[in-house]
Structure 1
Amino acid sequence: MQSTTGAATGSLKRSEVFHPAHEPLRHDPALNLQQDRISGPLPFLNPTKAQFRYESRPDVRFKWSSRNNRKGRHAIVVGQDQANASSNQLTTPHVTSSLNDILRGVWRMLTYYPIWDISFDVAYVFTIGSVIWVINAFFVWLPLVQPDSEFRNEELYGGGITAFVGATVFEFGSLLLMAEAVNENKSGCFGWALEQALSHKGGDDETGDRKLEPSKLQCTHHHLNKRNLVGKGIRHVSKEESASEARSWVWWPSTTNLKTHYVYDLGFLASFFQLCGATVFWISGLTALPGIYNRMSRPITIIFYWTPQVIGGLGFIISGTLFMLETQSKWWKPAPRTLGWWIGVWNLIGGIGFTICPAFGYDTSSWSQYQACLSTFWGSWAFLIGSVVQWYECLEKFPVEVGSTDKDSAIAEDGT
């Protein structure tokens, strides 16, 4: 990969320049990093977005993002003129944001289950956990709305058992989320290759008569490798890359990597707060079990049942907020055209619901208990929506969007 780093690099903010050891695609000579397209929402944290010129196809840009890299996705941008021109239909990648493509993505969710892909496992586990929490919310809230629907010990057994199972599933999903974060592809991956188009006549790459196609065989992400959950991709990294980048997988980053890279990485921080929140929240799931919950005194209930929910919910709020920020070009600028942003939004809403629930729960009045149960209800649905969107996102590994690819104009910051 070619790049030009001027003498002014030292004056740049941390979010505007990559550390030499963590610059993506630095070993790919076909991609030219655009230094003025490196960005992040917070100046004191690592970059979360970058753009590359693909020398063989000047009409195409590769959009690297920390979230896409973590999820094994390879987003590119094609020019509006190239996307619309009928003469380029054989050589220009098909835009994936149309209604038909969305429906194909939904169908893929129903028919394709790549359990070897940790990003799929994260989304699927959180979807299952969210469904369990929705069921839990019906057990504890519905009797307050429709008292005649209540059966004996519904809240104690139905609510208590589903709370424990749901909290356990969330804990497992958070562990997978953390494993995904610390096993990111440190070298980056383009994931596309030029293929001969059927309409080829002259054989000149510069004329754009060779089509850019997804190339799973050239992908170094571990998501496509059926032989491991995290670690090595189908194609191994080049010999130029360090041994630390070629290792199969890690439980936890080294102290050096933690201090110099991960503590400044928004995706890692979001995953870490999610894991911390889920771990503390699990305590309330345990104490919700029949035989424990109904034998606790009021002070013990406050300490070991309600308070862990407050702390855990705050962890979910922080995590959702950080996941939102990771997809934004500026900390104050929403990115509604990005799937990852909506995932963060719904997780944030879910975290708010799970935090408000115990806040009301401290009060024993009937109105407060009603609001506590209602907060669990809509919070669970928010988590479910976010998990389903994440499920859709993780299966679209090669998104293509339309944008500006002129040399002197900026590509839209938000998208994919």
Structure 2
Amino acid sequence: MASRVSFAKSATVRIRSCPSNKIRGSDMADSAMVDIEGEVAPGFEAVRDAFASNFIKGGDVGASFAIWKDGEYLVDLWGGHTDAARSKAWQRDTLPNVWSTTKAVAALCLARLVERGELSYDDPIIKHWPEFGAHGKDRLTVGQAISHQAGLSTLREPLTEENLYDHDDMAARMAAAEPLWEPGTRSGYHALTYAFITGELVKRITGKTIGRFFRDEIAAPWEIDFYIGLPESEEGRIAEMIAAPNAQPLDAANLNEVQKLTFANPSPSATAPNSRAWRKAEISSANGRGSASALAKLFGAVAAGGALNGTSLVSRETLAKLSAEQISNEDLVLGLQGSWGAGVLRNVGGLLYGPNEATIGHSGWGGSFVLCDPVAGVGISYVMNQMGPDLAGDPRAMGLLAAAYEAL
């Protein structure tokens, strides 16, 4: 039986409830009509309502949200459209660009190498990548580098968006670069350059690109529908990324010198992911594509002990190493106080990712996020194509998290 709720001067959300707490809708010609599909476990109906509210009040065009616990989904929702024209319905397996939420997946790739004994967060990077030691970077550890302490939030030389598509060239530039501040003393968010540190470490150790390593070592055994570097065969499932409306430019007068350099060099547009050149590159800081169901399953399995489908990938011991604090300070680039683990944000104070301080996660420009909560034993993720203005703490995401933890 369908339940239909209309709101004046806004979208209309239609939810069709089926047995076993499943909800399903159908395509509608009216662009103001949004269908929500999926399922929620008993007691999680408020999460469904919060998800619907994001279309009614929050401006969502297309999105998905999922909670994974104990080998199953407590919530698995999707709805809306994959494009600004609202011509194609969002499916469970639609693949939006998740921006910096990709960093959590890249961090998990390195954690897998730690699990296998091929890498330690205490290793100097030059143990695996000797050329990286130029200009005083020789003492920098892996853990410091992937917690944004390398002093390479950008390079001193001019960069373009196209430079990001050539991993080998960027890795060579990073190795030879003079840092912007003394390595290992402060964090300064490596929004894009994180890709070439994580990707090159994986390549030096395994001989594989990070996208291939993720597919072979994590995505395949755990059946995770996520990509760093999208194969052409999956192009039919992409979501068009839509820039935040009325986004305000940064006021240069209020920026420090590191921020000025970092935000402008390069400065990819919010719609850069709509090009095939962006999608096929392997930028493990910013161009991952996947659904909320895939990300929630991945990090929910890690939260529960790191085993799935009879395969153990990341033990609790390795998760503890991944989660351990590398640095806590006011970030030179973000201008915010924060605590970094080995490539992930630590939920100190319960500010971003629910009430449990043991939670780790990462958010992406515009609103997406994934978290791994070993206390509650859950993975939770939200992805979308209508970008908001925030790097983290998007109101749509925060509303979903509040409803989720109330139900948990």
TM-score range, shorter chain: under 0.3
Higher helix share: 1
TM-score scaled by length of structure 2: 0.27
Higher strand share: 2
TM-score scaled by length of structure 1: 0.27
Flag the structure with larger Rg: 1
